[in-house]
Amino acid sequence: MRLACTVEYEGTMYHGFQNQTNLPTVQGQIDKALENISADASSFNYSGRTDAGVHALTQVFDFQTQVQRSDEEWLRGLNSNLPKTISIKSISEVDDDFHSRFSAKERFYSYVIYNTPNKPTFFDNFVYWDNMPLNIKKMSDCAHDLLGKHDFSSFRSSSCGSKNPIKEIKSISLEQKGSFIILNISATAFLHNMVRIIAGTLVGISKGELDISIHELLEAKDRTLAGKTLTAKGLFFLGPRYDSKIPISSPFKDIISRFDI
């Protein structure tokens, strides 16, 4: 049978989700937990590869196993063998052809900016701090121009390995909760560092550091013209959307609740 799990993690101390040789990763910790409970897991898939320092509220992974346990036994067994920075939230049986990555129809991210003159004493691992006042209306107007299907070459890292820079942004918005500005964005798929570069570009335009429109950036297909890549610690992977019934809550509402202070 094939099982799908949703997992939440703080990415601060990990070099991303995917296994890397001699480096701590979230998948590495999950692999150890599965081994410790004799799960006999194989064919491990995941919905999105997050970089070092990036967090997740609803990463999804799936694996094949012959071990028969109740959902409660799986959750208790896995979580008791995981560090406090990683928590399995749900587990459910799925069709044999389910694939966490390839079955996903849409992916959701939020980027959190802490906009205040005072440094974020208690939030430093989870936000990008900018002490200059940001114009959220200007940022929102610019963000709207990113909607739809475009060539996002100006918003990809130099190390991006994707063969196709054309992606479709399904939704994008900004909202403010006190000192927090949260960029919410969903797309069918993303290029490497795409969300962090978009966030950096919107911040740069708001502060007057960039004198270029989003339309011009899209047309230019030139990474050097866009804003800087903001720090990974402000980025949250909120999860994918599937046609199948995997328990995933409303992602943007989740991130707002975390910063409802």
Per-residue pLDDT tens digits for 142-187? 999 999 999 999 999 988 888 899 999 999 999 998 899 999 999 9
> Exposed/middle/buried for 155, CB within 10 Å: 0-12, 13-18, 19+?
buried
What rounded mean pLDDT belongs to the chain?
A: 91
Q: Are 236 and 15 in contact (CB under 8 A)?
A: no
All domains of the chain in start order, with CATH: 2-103 (3.30.70.580), 106-237 (3.30.70.660)
Phi, psi of 143, rounded to the nearest 5 degrees: -60, -35
- Decide if pLDDT at 261 tops 70: no
- Decide if pLDDT at 77 tops 70: yes
Q: What pLDDT does 38 receive?
A: 85
Buried b / exposed e along 39-53 (16+ C-beta atoms within 10 A): bebeeebbbbebbbb
Average of per-residue pLDDT across 32-51: 88
Does the pTM exceed 0.85? Answer: yes
Following CA atoms 38, 98, 24, 86 in sequence, which dihedral angle do they give, to the nearest 10 degrees? -80
> What pLDDT band is residue 251 in, cutting at 50, 70 and 90?
low
Q: What pLDDT does 130 receive?
A: 97
> Exposed/middle/buried for 177, CB within 10 Å: 0-12, 13-18, 19+?
middle
pLDDT tens for each residue of 115-149: 999 998 888 999 999 999 999 999 999 999 999 99
- Decide if pLDDT at 208 tops 90: yes
51 has catalytic annotation: yes
> What pLDDT band is residue 245 in, cutting at 50, 70 and 90?
low
Of 40, 51, 124, 254, the catalytic one is 51
**For residues 252 and 94, which has the higher predicted lDDT (pLDDT)?**
94
Q: Are 35 and 27 in contact (CB under 8 A)?
A: no
Q: Which amino acid is at 156?
A: R
> What pLDDT band is residue 79 in, cutting at 50, 70 and 90?
very high
Q: What pLDDT does 6 receive?
A: 93
- Decide if pLDDT at 197 tops 60: yes
**Highest mean pLDDT range out of 43-52, 68-77, 226-235?**
226-235
> What pLDDT band is residue 5 in, cutting at 50, 70 and 90?
very high
- Decide if pLDDT at 253 tops 70: no
